[in-house]
Structure 1
Amino acid sequence: MKTDTRIVEVIALSGFDTPLAYAVPPTCAGELDVGSLVRIPLRRRSELGVVLRFGTDQVVPPGKLKMLFEVVQPYPVLPPDLMKLYHWVREYYSATPEAVLETMIPVAIRRGMKAKTRRYIVAAKAPTAGELEALEKRAPKQAELLRFIRQQLKPLPRADILKRMKISASACDGLVAKGFLRETETEEERIAYEDELGEAETVVPEERHDLTEEQNAAVCSIKAAIDQGGFSTRLLHGVTGSGKTEVYLNAVEQVVAEGGGVIFLVPEVALAPQTVGRVRARLEARGVHTVVWHSHLSGGERYDAWKALASGEAHVVVGARSAVFAPVQNLKLLIVDEEHEPSYKQEDSPRYHGRDVAVYRALINQAVCILGSATPSLESLYNVERKKYGVDRILNRVDDRELPRIHLIDMRREDLQGKGASPISRTLADMLIDRFEKKEQSILFLNRRGFSTSLLCPDCGHVMSCEHCSLPMTFHRTDGKIHCHLCGEERPAPYKCPECRSVNIRKRGLGTQKIEDVVQKILPRARIVRMDADSMSKKNLYRKILNDFRIGKIDLLVGTQMIAKGLDFPNVTLVGLVDADRSLHVEDFRAAERTFQLIVQVSGRSGRGDRAGEVVIQTHTPHAPPIQFARQSDFEGFLLEELEQRREFNYPPFRHLIRHLFRGRNPDKITFFVEQWVKLVQAELGEQIEIRGPAPAPIEKIRDEYRFQLWYFAPSASKVIGPIRQLRQGFKMDKDVIDLIDVDPMNMS
């Protein structure tokens, strides 16, 4: 039918998969657009929805069409490019409209949050002598306030003045009513990390560094892609400490100077302050507004960042993976730093990958996308090989700094020599003491939070496991409890074995808390801080600790993944990987790649200043190929070996992988329905995909639900996900069996 601007189709945010038609009231006609957030009547309630289009193909009986209530936000929450992205994410990741919209639209926006305002008071008409005398007698506080305000040269915040002068609000209201004072309201933006500009509290232009020959070649290559216009993706492969950020900043400056918008993604919230500081120091002295975007912001900060971008006031956003959905106008450049990081993949629906969404959004906007890493993912390198991506390589550190010297410690020998009681080898302990005495800083990395991995009874072999999940519970020294990191279950650590009542129960395995304790005994005078998910519960604690470390208030940082990459501290000359091969021993075809990347990235935190750096890798499998390749910084060697193995088994990147997970409380019921489903898929799609499974998931039970999985291998995920979804819609699954589809999964557990 012909498009009718008096009717709109709206997708509700309350779980409806089908768009609903509504009439547009005359009061909303001027402010309504495709992508607008609106309030609609639905099932006798008021709900929120997003306008998908004007007009409708639905047959609506005359007079039966309900009218929408209001437009909630002054700007569309999904401008045209994000509307196209919404449809793509829905289809490719097989997600519900509600899940995609809730991911793309911040909760503060969906709740109709408004801008923060501050009320100011200023003198209005001048009182006559008689009026002032009357105030002195009848309302001395009013007279005092009026005299003070009339002495000021500019409006003052109402709340601050009343608090300072200890005068009630009614006294101020009385003067306003009499016309002696006038009140105004001004919007105030809540700017996250406003002071994150180094140690200074003011904007200081960042010191420019002369580009190396390799950096300059990369800058020129990217500049040519931007000047050419249109869509392109370039992989920036630069070793740790090679100055990739300087290349990014040159590209950002060029795009902003031409009036374009920029999205700059980082893999961890912990990296945002450092990156924001550098971007703002480079841009804001020129009046370019940069905003921050990630889940740790307050609702007000997120709202103001969204409004600044949606209104065109800000042109640059720095943030974690969700920033890929920020409403940047005239988007011309997207940067994905540390593009190999699995943290770009969201584990809840929609299970999107921030890197891949960034590439597709660049395509929609005919923009340039830069993927940067010292250890690129095999998927990105395969796209370079197929000529889908361009590539720029920086193989040397800035100022010709050497890569850190790497020491490999075989912990099996430490155990045989009777030193196995300590998780810190004698070599690493001596080097930590040496760095402390030289007033240099160190980082210790262990990818396991808590004090110990589990509690074990040596008499009967019982392991304290979660009653709801098939996983041992982790002991935490801080509260004396054992915790399940999957379901959140916690209980006091037992003094006796619940099975045999033995009192010989022991702590087994390592956690960051234990490493912190051990190192504190080695360096009793050192200032040691731990950074992991347990210790970083307070807002902005990341910023405080990293800033303290940067200015030398902390001697040694102990942490997990959040300190493994991207951080740049020139005084760090020693990095220790306590249990470097932990990531090798998991059921994941990417285990070798992840281990290699992790060792190289963590090692890269050392020796980034004027002093040479060293790295100690502690492992029980020193001859494992990923560890040996990482030790020698042999990226090409690792790449050739790993790609050959992937090619042999036809794993990604040579084919796409889709994971189909089924869960429920009755394993027999799950097995039955999964087997019926496999027969259907095999019959309908057997020529297009290879099916493996069903099999129990590596973590077989979580929150009292058993888990089984299937794997679908296909040359193209986009070509088979639609048929799989259509088959699933027609398949009658038992209500007690829940299934989910994960396209291009990163988590195999």
Structure 2
Amino acid sequence: MSSFVQVCIPLPVEGLFTYSVPEGLPILPAEGMRVFVPFGKRQMTGVVFAVSDRTEVEKTLPIIDVLDAEPLFSKEDLEFVIEAARFYGVSPGEMLQVMTPPGFFREEKVRYQITEEGLSRFEKASGREKEALALFTLAKGISSLQAVRGLRKIGYRAPHSKVASLVKEGFIRRVTEVRREAKGKVKVFLEMEREPFPDERLSPSALKVVSFVREKGRVERSVLLEETGVTGGVVERLEGRGILRKVLAEEVVLGGEGSIREEEKEISLTPHQERALRRVTEAMERGEGGVFLLHGVTGSGKTEVYLRAVEKALSRGYSACILIPEIALTPLTLGRFQRMFGDEVGVFHSRLTAAERKTLWERARKGKTRVLLGPRSALFVPLRKTGIIVVDEEHDQAYKQEDGVRYNARDLAILKGNILSIPVLLGSATPSAESYFRARTGSYVYLSLPERVAESRLPSIEVVDLSNPVERKGPGRYLSRKLVEAMEEAFSRGEKVMLFINRRGYAPWVMCLDCGHVERCEECSVSLTLHREAGGLLCHYCGHMREEPAACPRCGGVKIAAPGLGTERLEAFVSSRWKDRRVARMDSDAVRRKGAYGEILRRMQEGEIDVLVGTQMIAKGHDFPRVTLVGVVLADLSLSFPDFRSAERTFQVLTQVAGRAGRRERPGKVIIQTFHPDHYAITTAARHDYEGFMEMELSIRAELGYPPFTRLLLIRCTGLKEEAVNSRAKEVAELLLERFEERSEVRVLGPSPAPVKRIKRNYIYQILVKAPPDFDFAPLMGEISAEFRGRGRSGGVRIEFDVDPYQLLY
């Protein structure tokens, strides 16, 4: 009976593609396996999503080869791909690419080589049989496609069956080469290609080898020979018969930032922690899903609840995924989890090499890694039998991917939890407005940790009005009189200071004082930021860089100024002002080198840094000893953004950075410098009043019609020609207005140029759709895609969907 497979191709093409399964394949395809298939004028690797014995497709092409001996994805994994793709308005192939490590669709190559037995047979053969064997005599062998085409050309109507027959007879062998980006020593591994046939006669040595490899799954060749005591010839004959498969792989040493181990101590849960843990574990034990919002003030012990919940999951045979927003949090968090769970812990993030990510991915799939930590991409690693997903700092916008497929890892974690029927634990000191609203209205389970653990208390917070000239006088320049005095007092007590400004670089722009010319990016509609350490002007959108000008390119004037403040300038100022103090900086520039994160965190833990200057990377999750003073140098930066979330982001970052002070036995103090001391985001942050802030924020959102009282869909039209982009955006808006003409609860705003109108030479026009909070955008996105795919690309204009956008600037 013929069978058919539906294959997902990793391209932005809609749907799955049906192929027939030819007779004689050495391995039959199953759901979750990769297959090599013809696609248009090329051949590609895809993943089987379904297998059936019939199809409504009139004409199908056969798959060329099966690349895996066992499925790499479970049925739930495949369902997750389909549902996530639907939710974000992209093809399953695009979503699958996002969810798999680099090289997943191109690194394994199957080839067929002639064996010694095959060469002997070739010498004696004649006619078509000799022609068939001749195909495989090339030193490197030939690919599956070359074998099938060659055999068909010389008259074999079932070329796959002929290949399988030659493998079974031991005349050719199947070799899988694994290509990795990492550089290292190549090792030879062996794994089962197939089980011996019932009537297949094997020597005792061969049976010993088969039993050993079957038990180990994959074993290095040298280890196999040493452990079994057989000769290499036995292994080669098993390869030749197609029972064993040789895999070439480079030796990989798992990298990363390392971990920071804290002093081990006995920890007893508080009543609030015990209550929260009990609610989560009860759901796990009942096999129920659900979303739990753990709202705990900074220092309240949320991580300890995570650890105990993961411990419960592992004791019941489950695995656990813990998402963190920043790679910077990895070393400290990893240390805490390794202390409890040892070698079962793995960390997955973008700073690992491609080979390291692939290795971790495989270890998790095979159940060797049972506790996985990392930023948003860690969610897509196919852990075996996941029992709980934790999303730490659930409010953080780092969970939102802002290019390509614009997904939110927090929301996908909830989707995955629903598919698996497992609890998803969201934790934050400042939950997002959407999560807080859903918890308070019963969609999520609300769990509270209202107090800090042990003896520590929340820090006192003082707001300094920068519009007051008294505070801006004196030697501080960028630091108010009160902040300078507080720093001096902290130093006198041997304590540490953190200074926060959420702007990297030396100065936000460079301008000519004679004519007012500002250096701007040639490819984006933004000014260039001065980065003295890197030696030039840098665009934060496209990465374009050029030298800092000695004279104005417009008027030739030499009065060049760099106004404003960034982390580089603040670090230089503090180092100059307090020459006897050890000053360090933590931002994305300072930690670009692999291992730099861990080095700075280690120095902070060991007291080797007196002042740490940084962006929001220093604002969350860290628990440094002897840090008693935090200075927020300019709290107004995020308030000025043209975004409905600007007040929420300001409150969140102020609360998070304030939480770094006084987390141990010493009391903490926070000084917030601002030109808007009466803004509700700042006054409520100064009182540690999350509920007061949310009451004000939600009332404003309800009045203006923003989430959580609505859902948003941002549609971006981008292209190199502004006229074509504007024209296509108007066409999309017209379709939307017509579609919702009789639905007053759906509003269409735009089109209009994005606040940052041009990025990487592409113009951006956008349309914002406001809909009821339960509105399903998937059919609408499908309708728009189908409509404009039929009209052509209109001068290269792309249409991108951003569901529940976090960033409205571009």
Which bin holds the TM-score, normalised by the shorter protein?
0.7 to 0.9
Q: How does 1:382-461 map to 2 (within 5 A)?
A: 382-414=437-469, 418-419=473-474, 422-461=477-516
The corresponding residue for 2:8 is 11
Partner Cα distance (2:406, 2:69) in 1? 30
Match of 2:89 among 60, 82, 94: 94
For residue 84 of structure 1, give the secondary structure of its aligned residue in structure 2.
helix
Answering whether residue 755 of structure 2 is matched by residue 695 of structure 1, we say no
The corresponding residue for 1:35 is 32
Q: How does 1:69-84 map to 2 (within 5 A)?
A: 69-71=65-67, 73-84=68-79
Residues 505/420 of structure 1: CA separation in 2 closer, same or farther (3 Å cut): farther
Answering whether residue 248 of structure 2 is matched by residue 252 of structure 1, we say no
Partner Cα distance (1:226, 1:635) in 2? 29
Answering whether residue 334 of structure 2 is matched by residue 276 of structure 1, we say yes
The answer (yes or no) to whether the contact 1:456–1:505 under 8 Å persists in 2 is yes
Between 1:709-718 and 1:105-114, the stretch displaced more is 105-114
Residues 561/176 of structure 1: CA separation in 2 closer, same or farther (3 Å cut): same
Letter in 2 for 1:81: E
* TM-score of the aligned structures, taking structure 1 as reference length: 0.86
For residue 454 of structure 2, give the secondary structure of its aligned residue in structure 1.
helix
The answer (yes or no) to whether the contact 2:14–2:91 under 8 Å persists in 1 is yes
The corresponding residue for 1:634 is 689
| Cα drift, residue 20 of structure 1 | 2.7
The corresponding residue for 2:735 is 680
| Cα drift, residue 532 of structure 1 | 1.3
Residues 186/105 of structure 1: CA separation in 2 closer, same or farther (3 Å cut): closer
Match of 1:473 among 522, 528, 539: 528
Letter in 1 for 2:331: P
Between 1:614-623 and 1:650-659, the stretch displaced more is 614-623
The answer (yes or no) to whether the contact 2:391–2:427 under 8 Å persists in 1 is yes
The corresponding residue for 1:51 is 48
Answering whether residue 265 of structure 2 is matched by residue 265 of structure 1, we say no
The corresponding residue for 1:722 is 779
Partner Cα distance (2:76, 2:232) in 1? 47
The answer (yes or no) to whether the contact 1:237–1:375 under 8 Å persists in 2 is yes
| Cα drift, residue 694 of structure 1 | 1.4
The corresponding residue for 1:745 is 805
Between 1:21-30 and 1:510-519, the stretch displaced more is 21-30
* TM-score of the aligned structures, taking structure 2 as reference length: 0.79
Match of 1:232 among 247, 265, 290: 290
Partner Cα distance (2:702, 2:11) in 1? 44
Letter in 1 for 2:3: R
Answering whether residue 426 of structure 2 is matched by residue 371 of structure 1, we say yes
Answering whether residue 662 of structure 2 is matched by residue 667 of structure 1, we say no
Q: How does 1:617-632 map to 2 (within 5 A)?
A: 617-632=672-687
Answering whether residue 617 of structure 2 is matched by residue 562 of structure 1, we say yes
Letter in 2 for 1:474: T
Letter in 2 for 1:738: R
| Cα drift, residue 194 of structure 1 | 9.1
Q: How does 1:104-503 map to 2 (within 5 A)?
A: 104-112=99-107, 114=178, 190-192=253-255, 196=259, 198=261, 206-284=264-342, 289-414=344-469, 418-419=473-474, 422-503=477-558
Match of 1:580 among 626, 635, 650: 635
Partner Cα distance (2:25, 2:349) in 1? 32
| Cα drift, residue 718 of structure 1 | 5.3
Partner Cα distance (1:675, 1:486) in 2? 26
Partner Cα distance (2:492, 2:252) in 1? 46
| Cα drift, residue 65 of structure 1 | 2.7
Between 1:660-669 and 1:452-461, the stretch displaced more is 660-669
Partner Cα distance (1:543, 1:617) in 2? 28
Between 1:98-107 and 1:598-607, the stretch displaced more is 98-107
| Cα drift, residue 305 of structure 1 | 1.0
Partner Cα distance (1:495, 1:189) in 2? 47
For residue 398 of structure 1, give the secondary structure of its aligned residue in structure 2.
coil
Letter in 2 for 1:66: P
Residues 421/394 of structure 1: CA separation in 2 closer, same or farther (3 Å cut): closer
Note the alpha carbon deviations across 1:357-393, whole angstroms, 9 max, x for none: 1011111001001000000001001111221100110
Partner Cα distance (1:718, 1:111) in 2? 38
Note the alpha carbon deviations across 1:97-137, whole angstroms, 9 max, x for none: 332111111114334365998879xxxxxxxxxxxxxxxxx
Match of 1:711 among 768, 793, 796: 768
How many residues align? The count is 682
| Cα drift, residue 604 of structure 1 | 0.5
For residue 259 of structure 2, give the secondary structure of its aligned residue in structure 1.
coil
Partner Cα distance (2:232, 2:272) in 1? 66
The answer (yes or no) to whether the contact 2:260–2:598 under 8 Å persists in 1 is no
Partner Cα distance (1:27, 1:546) in 2? 57
The answer (yes or no) to whether the contact 1:481–1:493 under 8 Å persists in 2 is yes
The answer (yes or no) to whether the contact 2:27–2:69 under 8 Å persists in 1 is no
Between 1:653-662 and 1:688-697, the stretch displaced more is 688-697
Letter in 2 for 1:489: H
Partner Cα distance (1:710, 1:240) in 2? 38
The answer (yes or no) to whether the contact 1:408–1:622 under 8 Å persists in 2 is yes
Note the alpha carbon deviations across 1:316-341, whole angstroms, 9 max, x for none: 11110111111012111010000000
Partner Cα distance (1:428, 1:434) in 2? 10
Residues 649/492 of structure 1: CA separation in 2 closer, same or farther (3 Å cut): same
The corresponding residue for 2:191 is none
Partner Cα distance (2:249, 2:518) in 1? 61
Residues 28/378 of structure 1: CA separation in 2 closer, same or farther (3 Å cut): farther
Letter in 1 for 2:706: Y
The answer (yes or no) to whether the contact 1:266–1:318 under 8 Å persists in 2 is yes
Letter in 1 for 2:406: R
Partner Cα distance (2:711, 2:82) in 1? 21
Between 1:38-47 and 1:362-371, the stretch displaced more is 38-47
Note the alpha carbon deviations across 1:288-343, whole angstroms, 9 max, x for none: 61111111111222112111111122221111011111101211101000000011
Note the alpha carbon deviations across 1:188-242, whole angstroms, 9 max, x for none: 774445952517xxxx9x5330111221221222222222321111100000000
For residue 107 of structure 1, give the secondary structure of its aligned residue in structure 2.
coil
Partner Cα distance (2:269, 2:72) in 1? 40
The corresponding residue for 1:134 is none
The answer (yes or no) to whether the contact 2:38–2:61 under 8 Å persists in 1 is no
The answer (yes or no) to whether the contact 2:325–2:393 under 8 Å persists in 1 is yes
The answer (yes or no) to whether the contact 2:459–2:669 under 8 Å persists in 1 is yes
The answer (yes or no) to whether the contact 1:414–1:420 under 8 Å persists in 2 is no
Letter in 2 for 1:69: D
The answer (yes or no) to whether the contact 2:88–2:406 under 8 Å persists in 1 is yes
Partner Cα distance (1:370, 1:67) in 2? 42
Note the alpha carbon deviations across 1:260-311, whole angstroms, 9 max, x for none: 1111000001111211111111112xxx611111111112221121111111
Q: Which stretches in structure 2 are left out of the alignment for 5+ residues? A: 109-177, 189-219, 224-230, 234-246
Partner Cα distance (1:548, 1:719) in 2? 49
Letter in 2 for 1:70: V
The answer (yes or no) to whether the contact 2:466–2:472 under 8 Å persists in 1 is no
| Cα drift, residue 403 of structure 1 | 0.6
The answer (yes or no) to whether the contact 1:100–1:349 under 8 Å persists in 2 is no
